Structure 1
Amino acid sequence: MKNIVTVFLILLISHHGSCAKILGVFTSPGPSHYILGSTLMKALAEKGHDVTLISSFGEKKPPKTKGTYRDIVVTEIMKKMNELIAGGQVNMFEHAKMSPLPAAAFLARMMPRIMEPGLGNKEVQKLIHSNEKFDVVIVEQFMNDAEKALSTHFGAPLIVVSSMWANYWVNTLVGNPSPASYIPMISTDYSIPMTFCERLENSLLFLLTEILFKWYVYPYENATIKKYIPNGPDINDVLYNASIVLMNSHPSLNQPVPYVPNMIDIGGFHVQPPKKLPQDLQEFLDNAKDGVIYFSMGSHLKSADFPPEKRDAILRAFSKLKEKVLWKWEEDVLPGQPKNVKLSKWLPQQSILAHPNVKLFITHGGLSSTTETVYHGVPILAIPVFGDQKLNARSAMNNGFGLMIPYNEVTEDRFTKSIQEILNNPKYRNSAKQRSEAFHDRQVSPMDTAIYWIEYVIRHRGAPHLRVAALDLPWYKYHLLDVIGFLVLISVVTGYVSYNSFRAVCRKICNKRKSKKLKQN
């Protein structure tokens, strides 16, 4: 009996030692962002950790996991977002008309205002004023830097999850190099390599973003910290404290770029094995002898919000096809709906893309959708509207597994020709399959990679040994401006001394010659 009790105590202590308290903060108003966060946090709970997730959505049914899983749902962010949409300040389809410079300014001005109310939520404030402790705080990077102060407040290491590839929002936080000469900024659709004009505009965009963040975004976030967190730290003491950054990217999807040691690729970690489809969808897909085109503008944009002229152009193009079309349409009726088009307000995207009869995915070009289509090897036709969608669409074109039509250039003729080009030219599907093979070819699954590194940070108390020295340098030292200035000064002084010495020697020689002539005369 004594031995049984001893074994039980050892197992209990062992379990307690491996179980961590983890706080996740994924408050973005985009459902696709929530899917990323909840998928990661549920996997950590399944591993046996005690998880708390602050988000704008939450689970209808608490997931069954080995560890505990607690939802804190903040409704204030979605409310703020809807207020701005209703007031006409946010119109995503209008956003498509903006060039990169004003688009960056718009995003920097709007997002901190949308995200701010989350920290004021009653349940969040209750958590902040509690005596709870966490072993690590995981925050999604999405113009919400004030939320990172929760890691300082709870005395826990900070892990940042980027819903995109390496970009300005995360590179500056970990000292990662990001040359504007060959790495396009978010909201652009520049080719790689960039032309001279693209590099010029990209450099100006980088400069503008620097100014916007330093003089508007970070001061706003700092005020938010002071407003909602007791004895809140200064924003500059929070920004550069990330132990690691988990990147929702992979070289098979995104341009290969430099990474410092604490940046880890986990692109595709949210992709789940296909689930059984509802009977009507299964029959629709199974019976499509000529194949199916799947059409969705994602979780944030609504196809039903297309202007009538765009919608009608798309419908006329669909009516010419022999293939069936499965369209995520958010209303009960679609005026002029062709016979080969099936509608649904919600569709299980990952399971649909896994069906062998799906020949083409027409998408807005969001990174989650792009990741899922590469995972299943389905070519895309992208209609990008805002944010990173244009760059994702350009990447699909560059890598040969899709085409892009800018939203403002959607016409019946161009839409039809693009669909026919992808369906009739096998190079697009072959490229998609090749990309899929490269995406799957990994030593460890992306989710296992994410969990390993999160637990690594916990084991090594923040893993400060992964931090690069660049973070401790002021900007002028990082860019070697002091060294360059010193070398310029030395060069100027040396040149000045050399010039004066040369003049003095020349003058002396001239004077000697003059004296010699005078003596001869």
Structure 2
Amino acid sequence: MTYKGGAVIIESDFKSEIPESVKEAIFEASKKLPFSVFWHISARNTIGKKQHANMPQNMFLGKNLPLQDLLGHPKCRIFVSRCSMESVLIATYHGVPIICLPATHFDESVASFVEKHGTGVILPRKNITGKLLFNAISGVSNDPSFRGISRHLAETLRDQPETPGDRFIFAIQNLERHRDHKHYSQVKKQNFISTHYWDVCIALTLVVILFLFTLSCGLWFIFHTFSDSITVVNVDRKKII
């Protein structure tokens, strides 16, 4: 079966295991979508054998999928993401609307930026359902304003006097042309200690030694104070006897 309507990219790179509610919502929503669904999961996340057996026909599941290439494809319609800074920047660069499933407080701040600028919507990850995710994907994909704003931001990011590749080539050629310039030869003038950061290592080592010395002195003082008090008590007991 082919799906010519486009593709939905799902990224669920959670720092811990993917919640079961999120898995079920993704599977349920994917079955109803007229798009191809590419689900990118990280090495730390797993999908059970039972869920693999019930995987929709339009879903392609894989670890470490090339998000840059998938989001840059002209058929990409929607990006479902937990809203890490890197993934949002990639999607914005390629002009792809985003559906946010934030996992942390930092993700929520990035997701609020996406929603504020009109390039996506936020869904509650704890209360996510297949119906809610399906309605969000359908609504964003059918609303041209999300795509229009996303493409406008992408054009703004790409509006540069030269490409990143051209800047890289210029930097290499500039280094070759001015190889003997003092600006590029400062490292050669540094001594062995500064070049290999031995001064920093020595300073950190002294700090650690000072900390351990202070800690040992404190423990020694507490031990001897406690032992002296016990000795005084024993002496007083002997006098009473």
Q: TM-score range by the shorter chain?
A: 0.5 to 0.7
Which residue identity lines up with residue 443 of structure 1 in the other structure? P
Which amino acid letter does the alignment assign opposite residue 23 of structure 2?
R
Matched, 1:291 2:15: no
- Give the match for residue 152 of structure 2: 434
Query: Map of 1:302-381 to 2, 5 A cutoff?
Result: 305-329=17-41, 330-331=45-46, 333=49, 335=51, 336-381=54-99
Q: Choose between structure 1 and 2 for higher RCO, CA contacts under 8 A separated by at least 6 residues.
A: 2
Query: What's the CA shift for 1:386?
Result: 1.5
Structure 1 residue ranges, 4+ long, deviating more than 6 angstroms after superposition: none
Deviation at 1:446, TM superposition (A): 5.8
The structural deviation recorded for 1:428 is 0.7
Conserved 8 A contact 1:288-1:357: no
The one of 158, 167, 183 aligned to 1:459 = 183
CA distance in 1, matches of 2:139, 2:102: 19
- Output one character per residue of 1:28-69: Cα deviation in whole Å (capped at 9) or x when no partner: xxxxxxxxxxxxxxxxxxxxxxxxxxxxxxxxxxxxxxxxxx
Is the counterpart of residue 383 in structure 1 residue 108 in structure 2?
Answer: no
Change (3 A) 1:337 1:399: same
In structure 2, how many angstroms separate the alpha carbons of the residues matched to 1:398 and 1:374? 14
Provide the residue aligned with 1:393 in structure 2: 111
Partner amino acid, structure 2, of 1:310: V
- Of residues 15, 19, 39 in structure 2, which corresponds to 1:301? 15
Secondary structure class of the residue paired with 1:322: coil
Q: 1:334 to 1:306 in 2, by over 3 A?
A: farther
Distance 1:340 1:421 in 2: 20
SS of the residue aligned with 2:80?
Answer: strand
Q: Deviations over 1:431-452 (max 9, x none)?
A: 1110100010123556849x97
Letter in 1 for 2:109: L
Distance 1:425 1:443 in 2: 32
Quote the RMSD (CA, aligned, Å): 2.7
Q: For structure 1, list consecutive stretches of 5 or more residues without a partner in the other structure.
A: 1-283, 462-521
The gaps in structure 2 that reach 5 residues or longer are 176-181, 187-241
1:401-434 deviations in Å (ceiling 9; x for gaps)? 1111132232223212211111111111111110
Higher gyration radius (CA): 2
**Counterpart-to-counterpart distance in 1, 2:105 and 2:83:** 10
Aligned pair partner of 1:410 in 118, 121, 128: 128
Distance 1:459 1:334, change over 3 A: farther
Three-state SS of the structure 1 residue aligned to 2:126 is: helix
CA distance in 1, matches of 2:29, 2:78: 14
Query: Identity, % of aligned pairs?
Result: 24
Contact conserved, 1:379 with 1:432, CA < 8 A, in 2? Answer: yes
1:363 CA displacement: 0.8
How many Å apart are 1:331 and its aligned residue? 3.8
TM (normalized to structure 2)?
0.62
One-letter code aligned to 2:183: R
| Equivalent position SS for 1:407 | coil
Alpha-carbon separation, structure 2, partners of 1:320 and 1:403: 20
Q: How many aligned positions are there?
A: 168
Equivalent position of 2:231 in the other structure: none
1:156-197 alpha-carbon deviations (Å, 9 max, x no partner):
xxxxxxxxxxxxxxxxxxxxxxxxxxxxxxxxxxxxxxxxxx
